[in-house]
C-alpha cells in the first residue's frame, strides 16, 4: 500500500524539512521543528500526492486513504490523550493547506474542527470558560461555511454586527458567552437556508469536508493567479498537502494569545525580530485587521518568560534553517507553541543585507549568500520606486506591460516636442503615445516615464527606455490615445494634456495623480554582493549602450565593455537627422557620399566618446540596421518642411517615401542588406570607427574595436561586405601609422545563420546572438505586434513566459546551442555573446552559461542583475 500520511510530534515524527515536495513547506517544517525539540502541537500531514491524484482522477481520493486517516487519527488521539468526536474529552484539530512553494494566504484553513453543541457544553464546563467555547464554535461554523460550502464571509460578519448592535456593543472583546451562543444560532439558520442541510455535528464528516475543501483550494482562482505571477512551475510543485493538527487555543483567556513574527526585519533586513500579536485571540484576528495587534516588544512586559522563550526559539530556528524565519505562534494559558515556520519573504534591500549578515555571522558561505538573492529583485535597488505604502491610496486606471522598471511621475504630454519643451520649463512629464518611433527619442529622454498603448516588451519604446533606465509601461491596450486632440481615454475617464499620472514600470500599473516615490540606496551590502558575484561568475557582463550617458551608467554598474552599440540611434540626434535624410533621398552615389561626409565627423566623435568611457574594455559597434524609411518624416507638414530644407520638391520626396515603403519592414531592406545595396553607408561607418580608435591609440590608450554586421543569413553576405570594409580599415591604420587590432563579426539573429554557423564562422571573428530577431523569426511572432496576444498565450498556459523577455530555451535556445557548437567546430575559441533583450534575464543568463557563451550584454540598469545571475549560474553548475 502506498503511504500517504506522515505523523509529527511526540517523538513519532516521520517527516523532515527535505520532504517539502511530499509534505508541502508547512508540513515539512512542522516535522522538522518537532524533531529538533521545538514545541509543536502534534498532528499529521496528508501528502501532496493525494491532491495530485485527486485532480488527475476527476476528484476521487486514492484508495486506502480513508483507513489511513483513521489510523493516524488514532495515533493523534494517543499522542494527545484526547478523543476525536468525544463529548467529554474532545480532540479538536485545525486543517491547513501547504504546498512545496510558499503561497501565503492563497489556499484555505479551518480551525477548531470537531466542535458541536454538546462538545461546546462540555468544553465550557471543563475549562470553566463558556465564552471561549462559544467563540471557538462560531469561528468554526464561519470558516467551515465559507471554505467548505462557499457561503460568503460577509453574511457571517453581518450576523455578528446585528447581534452586536442589538446589544449596544462595539468590539468582539465585549461579547459574552451568551452573545456568541446567539451568533451560533443565527449562523446555523444561515447555513440551513444557504445549503439546505443542517450544520454537521459529526466530527468525521466535518473532517472529510475540510480535507476535500483544502485539496480543492489548490485550484481556486487566487491560487492559480499567484502561481502564474510568481512563476511557480506546476510540473514541479504539484498540489497542496493537508495538515491536520491538534488545536491549541489563543482565545482561552487573558493568559492566551497568538501572533506572527519575523526573526529579522523583513523590510530593512535589520537583525531585530519584528512581529505582532494579540492576547485572547485566534490567528485570523491578527491578520484580518479587526483588532489592532500589539508590537512584539510589549509581550516582554506582558509575559517575560514566554517572550524570552520565543526569542530563544527564533535563534534556534535561524541557526537551524540558516535563514530569516517567518513564524506563527500561539500561547495557550501561558504555554508557548509554534505552529509554523518558513523562510520569510523580504524586500530587495532586506534580502541583500540579510544574505551578507548571515555570511558574517558564519551561518552561510558567500556562494550560498549569492544564491539567496533573487537577481530580478535587484531592480528595486537601482531605480526610484513608488512608495508601496502610498500606492494603494491612489486610483489605478490601467495596466500595461512592465516594460522598464522604476517609477515615473509627471504631467501627461502627447508628443515628443512638448516633452522636451515642458522639461525645459522645469516640469516633469510623462510621454503618452500610441506607439513610439525613433523620432521620439529626445522626448523620451526628456520624460520621467513613457506610456504607450501599443508595442511589446521589446518594442522600440521598451528597448530604448530600458537603455535609458527610464520607467516605461508599454502595450497598455485599455487606453485609447488621441494624439491630435491631446487626450487619452480609459473607459469613461478622460486624461488631458497636463494631468498628473504615475507609472509603475515594475508592475505596468498606471495611477491617476502623483504617487510619492522613494530613492534607491546602493548601500555597502549591495556592493558586497556585486563583489562576490564577480569573484564566482564565469560569464563576462557587457552592456548595450548607444550614448556616452548609457555607457557611463553601465560602467558604474560594473559593465566590462559594450556588447552592442546600435548606431542608428545616433542618427536621430537633431544635429544630424537632416544629413541622414539628405543621404536617404539622394539619387546618386555621389550625392549620397556627400551627405555621408557630413555625418562622418559626428559619428567619429560619438565613437571616440564611447571608447574613452569604456577605456581598456572592448566595444562592439553594430553597423546600420533598420530600414531607411524609419528615418523619414511621416506627417504632411514634416514632409513639406523637409522638402524645402533639402531643396527637393514635395512630390519627389513623396515619391521617394512611397518607393521606400515596405509591407514587412522587419524582414525587408535592413541590416546587411542595406550594406549590400549602399556599401558607402557601411564604409563611412567603418572609417569613423577606425579613425576614432586610431586617435584614441595615438593618445596612448588601448582599444580594440569590434565591428558587428547585422542580419547575416548567408556566408556570402558577410564575405562580400568584409571584402569592402577591411580595406577601409587597413587604409585608416596606415594613414595613422598605428598598431590597431580589430575584429569583424556578425550577429546571429536569423535562423539560417544559426543553421550555417560553421560556414559563417570562417569569415567571422565573433558571434553575438540577436535574440530579439532570432525569437521573432523562429516563432514567426512580430516583435512589435506580439504584445497584443502573448499575454493571452501566457495566461492560457500555451507558453510559460513571454519569449521576448525570457529566452525560449527549447526552440530558440536549441538554435543557439547549434550555432555555438557549429561555430566552434570551425574556430575552437570563437568569441560568442548575446545582445538581445533576454541577455539581462536571469534564466536566459543561466542558459548562456551552460552553452558556453563568453559574455552577456544587457541594458545598463540590468548589469548588476546579470552579474549576480552569472555568478548563480556558475555556482549552481558547480553543484551538479
Which residues lie near ligand PEP (CB under 6 A)?
Answer: 564, 566, 625, 749, 770-773, 835-836
Which of Mg ion, ligand PEP, none is residue 564 near (CB under 5 to 8 Å by kind)?
ligand PEP
What is the dihedral sign for C-alpha 685, 687, 690, 692? negative
Classify 469 in phi/psi space as left (phi over 0), alpha (psi -120 to 50) or beta: left
Give CA 677 to chain center in angstroms: 43
Q: Does 546 bind Mg ion (CB under 5 A)?
A: no
351 and 369 in contact (C-beta within 8 Å)?
A: no
Q: Which residues contact 97 (CB under 8 A, 6 or more apart)?
A: 24, 26, 107, 108, 109, 214, 217, 218, 240, 241, 242, 243
Residue that the C-alpha cell 523562510 belongs to: 343
Which of Mg ion, ligand PEP, none is residue 566 near (CB under 5 to 8 Å by kind)?
ligand PEP
Task: Give the chain's radius of gyration (CA, Å).
Answer: 33
Which of ligand PEP, Mg ion, none is residue 836 near (CB under 5 to 8 Å by kind)?
ligand PEP
Which of Mg ion, ligand PEP, none is residue 339 near (CB under 5 to 8 Å by kind)?
none
User: What is the smallest separation between the CB atom of 858 and Mg ion, expressed in angstroms?
Assistant: 15
C-alpha distances out from residue 113 to 106, 211, 287, Å: 20, 11, 20
What's 10-60 look like in SS3?
Answer: CCCCCCCHHHHHHHHHHHHHHHHHHHCCCCCCCEEEECHHHHHHHHHCCCC
3-class DSSP state of 564: strand
Neighbours of 693 (CB within 10 A): 29
Which of ligand PEP, Mg ion, none is residue 808 near (CB under 5 to 8 Å by kind)?
none
User: What is the smallest separation between the CB atom of 610 and ligand PEP, expressed in angstroms?
Assistant: 17
User: What is the smallest separation between the CB atom of 776 and Mg ion, expressed in angstroms?
Assistant: 8
User: What is the smallest separation between the CB atom of 559 and ligand PEP, expressed in angstroms?
Assistant: 16
Q: Mask 14-53, x = binds Mg ion (CB under 5 A)?
A: ----------------------------------------
Binding region for Mg ion (CB under 5 A) out of 34-42, 233-241, 729-737, 748-756: 748-756
Which of ligand PEP, Mg ion, none is residue 466 near (CB under 5 to 8 Å by kind)?
none
Which of ligand PEP, Mg ion, none is residue 835 near (CB under 5 to 8 Å by kind)?
ligand PEP
Grid coordinates representing 648 are 527637393
Q: Which residues contact 8 (CB under 8 A, 6 or more apart)?
A: 14, 15, 27, 30, 31, 34, 40, 42, 43, 44, 45
Q: Is 472 one of the annotated active-site residues of the chain?
A: no
User: What is the smallest separation between the CB atom of 755 and ligand PEP, expressed in angstroms?
Assistant: 17
User: What is the smallest separation between the CB atom of 215 and ligand PEP, expressed in angstroms?
Assistant: 45
Q: Does 749 bind Mg ion (CB under 5 A)?
A: yes
Beta-strand relationship, 619-622 and 240-246: unpaired
Q: Which is nearer to Mg ion, 450 or 709 (CB)?
A: 709
Q: Which is nearer to ligand PEP, 29 or 436 (CB)?
A: 436
Q: Which is nearer to ligand PEP, 561 or 770 (CB)?
A: 770
Residue from 383, 460, 629, 831 carrying the catalytic annotation: 460
Q: Determine which residue in the list 326, 606, 763, 773 makes contact with Mg ion, applying CB under 5 A.
A: 773
Neighbours of 700 (CB within 10 A): 6
User: What is the smallest separation between the CB atom of 749 and ligand PEP, expressed in angstroms?
Assistant: 5
| Residue 171 φ/ψ, nearest 5 degrees | -100, 150
| Interhelix angle 771-779/812-826, nearest 10 degrees | 120
Q: Does 860 bind Mg ion (CB under 5 A)?
A: no
Which of ligand PEP, Mg ion, none is residue 459 near (CB under 5 to 8 Å by kind)?
none
User: What is the smallest separation between the CB atom of 747 and Mg ion, expressed in angstroms?
Assistant: 6
Which of ligand PEP, Mg ion, none is residue 406 near (CB under 5 to 8 Å by kind)?
none
Which of Mg ion, ligand PEP, none is residue 108 near (CB under 5 to 8 Å by kind)?
none
Name beta bridge partners: 243.
45, 96
Binding region for Mg ion (CB under 5 A) out of 519-527, 681-689, 744-752, 850-858: 744-752
Q: Which is nearer to ligand PEP, 665 or 800 (CB)?
A: 665
Grid coordinates representing 652 are 519627389
Q: Is 661 one of the annotated active-site residues of the chain?
A: no
User: What is the smallest separation between the CB atom of 786 and ligand PEP, expressed in angstroms?
Assistant: 14
User: What is the smallest separation between the CB atom of 862 and ligand PEP, expressed in angstroms?
Assistant: 14
Q: Mask 284-303, x = binds Mg ion (CB under 5 A)?
A: --------------------
Classify 737 in phi/psi space as left (phi over 0), alpha (psi -120 to 50) or beta: left
Which of ligand PEP, Mg ion, none is residue 771 near (CB under 5 to 8 Å by kind)?
ligand PEP
Q: Which is nearer to ligand PEP, 540 or 770 (CB)?
A: 770
Q: Which is nearer to ligand PEP, 543 or 771 (CB)?
A: 771
Q: Which is nearer to ligand PEP, 115 or 624 (CB)?
A: 624
Q: Which is nearer to ligand PEP, 404 or 772 (CB)?
A: 772
Q: State which of positions 753-772 bind Mg ion (CB under 5 A).
A: 770
622 and 689 in contact (C-beta within 8 Å)?
A: no
Residue that the C-alpha cell 488631458 belongs to: 496
C-alpha distances out from residue 279 to 120, 275, 292, 302, 329, Å: 22, 14, 11, 10, 12
| Residue 395 φ/ψ, nearest 5 degrees | -85, 125
User: What is the smallest separation between the CB atom of 582 and ligand PEP, expressed in angstroms?
Assistant: 24
User: What is the smallest separation between the CB atom of 474 and Mg ion, expressed in angstroms?
Assistant: 18
Burial (CB count within 10 angstroms: exposed 0-12, middle 13-18, buried 19+), residue 305: exposed
Q: Which is nearer to ligand PEP, 457 or 870 (CB)?
A: 457
342 and 317 in contact (C-beta within 8 Å)?
A: no
Q: Which is nearer to ligand PEP, 346 or 783 (CB)?
A: 783
Note the helical H segments in 45-176: 48-56, 65-80, 117-127, 130-147, 153-166
User: What is the smallest separation between the CB atom of 708 and Mg ion, expressed in angstroms?
Assistant: 10
562 and 854 in contact (C-beta within 8 Å)?
A: no
Q: Which is nearer to Mg ion, 439 or 837 (CB)?
A: 837
Which of ligand PEP, Mg ion, none is residue 568 near (CB under 5 to 8 Å by kind)?
none
338 and 38 in contact (C-beta within 8 Å)?
A: yes
Q: Which is nearer to ligand PEP, 366 or 749 (CB)?
A: 749
Which of Mg ion, ligand PEP, none is residue 340 near (CB under 5 to 8 Å by kind)?
none
Contacts with Mg ion by CB under 5 A: the residue count is 3
Q: Which is nearer to ligand PEP, 440 or 749 (CB)?
A: 749
d(CA 212, CA 204): 12
| Residue 811 φ/ψ, nearest 5 degrees | -100, -65
d(CA 76, CA 90): 12
Residue from 51, 472, 672, 835 carrying the catalytic annotation: 835
Q: Which element (helix H / strand E) includes 876?
A: helix 863-879
Give CA 874 to chain center in angstroms: 22
Residues at the contact surface with Mg ion, assessed by CB under 5 A: 749, 770, 773
The residues that are catalytic are 460, 835
Amino acid at each position: 500500500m502506498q503511504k500517504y500520511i506522515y505523523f509529527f510530534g511526540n517523538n513519532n515524527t516521520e517527516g523532515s524539512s527535505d520532504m517539502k515536495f511530499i509534505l508541502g513547506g508547512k508540513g515539512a517544517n512542522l516535522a522538522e521543528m518537532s524533531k529538533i525539540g521545538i514545541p509543536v502541537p502534534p498532528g499529521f500531514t496528508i501528502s501532496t500526492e493525494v491532491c495530485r491524484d485527486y485532480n488527475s482522477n476527476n476528484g476521487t481520493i486514492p484508495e486506502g486513504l480513508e483507513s489511513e486517516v483513521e489510523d493516524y487519527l488514532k495515533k493523534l488521539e494517543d499522542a494527545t490523550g484526547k478523543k476525536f468526536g468525544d463529548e467529554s474529552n474532545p480532540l479538536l484539530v485545525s486543517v491547513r493547506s501547504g504546498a512545496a512553494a510558499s503561497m501565503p494566504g492563497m489556499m484555505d484553513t479551518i480551525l477548531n474542527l470537531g466542535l458541536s453543541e454538546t462538545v461546546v457544553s462540555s468544553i465550557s464546563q471543563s475549562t470553566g470558560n463558556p465564552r471561549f467555547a462559544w467563540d471557538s464554535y462560531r469561528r468554526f461554523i464561519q470558516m467551515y461555511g465559507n471554505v467548505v460550502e462557499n457561503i460568503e464571509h460577509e453574511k457571517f460578519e453581518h450576523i455578528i454586527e446585528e447581534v452586536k448592535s442589538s446589544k449596544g456593543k462595539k468590539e468582539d472583546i465585549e461579547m459574552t458567552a451568551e452573545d456568541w451562543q446567539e451568533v451560533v444560532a443565527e449562523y446555523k439558520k444561515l447555513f440551513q437556508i444557504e445549503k439546505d442541510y443542517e450544520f454537521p455535528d459529526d466530527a468525521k464528516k466535518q473532517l472529510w469536508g475540510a480535507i476535500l475543501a483544502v485539496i480543492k483550494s489548490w485550484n481556486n482562482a487566487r491560487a492559480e493567479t499567484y502561481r502564474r505571477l510568481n512563476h511557480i512551475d506546476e510540473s514541479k510543485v504539484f498540489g497542496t498537502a493537508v495538515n491536520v493538527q491538534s488545536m491549541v487555543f489563543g482565545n482561552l483567556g487573558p493568559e492566551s494569545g497568538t501572533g506572527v513574527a519575523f526573526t529579522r526585519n523583513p523590510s530593512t533586513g535589520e537583525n531585530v525580530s519584528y512581529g505582532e500579536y494579540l492576547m485572547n485571540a485566534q490567528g485570523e484576528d491578527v491578520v484580518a485587521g479587526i483588532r489592532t495587534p500589539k508590537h512584539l516588544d510589549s509581550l516582554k512586559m506582558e509575559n517575560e518568560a514566554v517572550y524570552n522563550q520565543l526569542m530563544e526559539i527564533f535563534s534556534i530556528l535561524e541557526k537551524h534553517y540558516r535563514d530569516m524565519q517567518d513564524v506563527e505562534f500561539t500561547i495557550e494559558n501561558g504555554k508557548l507553541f509554534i505552529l509554523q515556520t518558513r523562510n520569510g519573504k523580504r524586500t530587495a534591500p532586506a534580502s541583500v543585507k540579510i544574505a551578507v549578515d548571515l555570511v558574517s555571522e558564519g551561518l552561510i558561505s558567500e556562494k550560498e549568500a549569492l544564491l539567496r538573492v533573487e537577481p530580478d529583485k535587484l531592480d528595486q535597488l537601482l531605480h526610484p520606486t513608488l512608495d508601496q505604502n502610498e500606492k494603494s491610496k491612489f486610483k489605478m486606471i490601467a495596466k500595461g506591460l512592465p516594460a522598464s522598471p522604476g517609477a515615473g511621475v509627471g504631467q501627461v504630454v502627447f508628443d515628443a516636442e512638448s516633452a522636451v519643451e515642458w522639461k525645459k520649463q522645469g516640469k516633469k512629464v510623462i510621454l503618452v503615445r500610441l506607439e513610439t518611433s525613433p523620432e521620439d527619442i529626445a522626448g523620451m529622454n526628456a520624460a520621467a516615464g513613457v506610456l504607450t498603448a501599443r508595442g511589446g516588451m521589446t518594442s522600440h519604446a521598451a528597448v530604448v527606455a530600458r537603455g535609458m533606465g527610464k520607467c516605461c509601461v508599454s502595450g497598455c491596450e485599455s487606453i485609447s490615445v488621441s494624439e491630435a486632440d491631446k487626450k487619452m481615454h480609459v473607459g469613461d475617464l478622460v486624461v488631458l494634456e497636463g494631468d498628473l499620472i504615475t507609472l509603475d514600470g515594475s508592475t505596468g500599473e498606471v495611477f491617476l495623480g502623483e504617487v510619492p516615490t522613494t530613492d534607491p540606496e546602493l548601500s555597502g551590502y549591495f556592493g558586497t554582493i556585486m563583489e562576490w558575484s564577480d569573484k564566482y561568475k564565469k560569464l563576462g557582463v557587457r552592456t548595450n549602450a548607444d550614448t556616452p550617458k548609457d555607457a557611463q551608467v553601465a560602467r558604474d554598474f560594473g559593465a566590462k565593455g559594450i556588447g552592442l552599440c546600435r548606431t542608428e540611434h545616433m542618427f536621430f540626434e537633431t544635429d544630424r537627422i537632416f544629413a541622414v535624410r539628405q543621404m536617404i533621398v539622394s539619387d546618386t552615389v555621389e550625392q549620397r557620399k556627400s551627405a555621408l561626409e557630413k555625418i562622418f565627423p559626428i559619428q567619429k566623435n560619438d565613437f571616440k566618446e564611447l571608447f574613452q568611457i569604456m577605456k581598456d574594455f572592448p566595444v562592439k559597434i553594430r553597423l546600420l540596421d533598420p530600414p531607411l524609411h524609419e528615418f523619414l518624416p511621416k506627417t504632411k507638414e514634416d514632409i513639406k518642411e523637409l522638402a524645402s530644407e533639402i531643396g527637393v520638391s514635395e512630390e519627389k520626396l513623396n515619391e521617394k517615401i512611397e518607393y521606400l515603403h515596405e509591407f514587412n519592414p522587419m524582414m525587408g531592406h535592413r541590416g546587411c542588406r542595406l550594406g549590400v545595396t549602399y556599401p558607402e553607408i557601411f564604409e563611412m561607418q567603418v572609417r569613423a570607427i577606425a579613425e576614432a580608435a586610431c586617435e584614441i591609440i595615438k593618445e596612448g590608450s588601448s582599444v580594440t574595436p569590434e565591428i558587428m554586421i547585422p542580419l547575416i543569413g548567408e556566408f556570402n553576405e558577410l564575405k562580400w561586405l568584409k571584402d569592402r570594409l577591411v580595406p577601409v580599415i587597413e587604409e585608416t591604420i596606415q594613414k595613422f601609422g598605428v598598431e590597431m587590432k580589430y575584429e569583424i563579426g556578425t550577429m546571429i539573429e536569423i535562423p539560417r545563420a544559426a543553421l550555417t554557423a560553421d560556414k559563417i564562422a570562417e569569415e567571422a571573428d565573433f558571434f553575438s546572438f540577436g535574440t530579439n530577431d532570432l525569437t521573432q523569426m523562429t516563432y514567426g511572432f512580430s516583435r512589435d505586434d506580439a504584445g497584443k496576444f502573448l499575454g493571452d498565450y501566457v495566461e492560457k498556459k500555451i507558453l510559460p513566459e513571454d519569449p521576448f523577455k525570457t529566452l525560449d530555451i527549447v526552440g530558440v535556445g536549441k538554435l543557439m546551442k547549434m550555432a555555438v557548437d557549429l561555430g566552434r567546430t570551425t574556430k575552437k575559441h570563437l568569441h560568442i555573446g548575446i545582445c538581445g533583450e533576454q541577455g539581462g534575464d536571469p534564466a536566459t543568463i543561466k542558459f548562456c552559461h551552460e552553452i558556453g557563451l563568453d559574455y552577456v550584454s544587457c541594458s545598463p540598469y540590468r548589469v548588476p542583475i546579470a552579474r549576480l545571475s552569472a555568478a548563480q549560474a556558475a555556482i549552481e553548475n558547480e553543484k551538479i
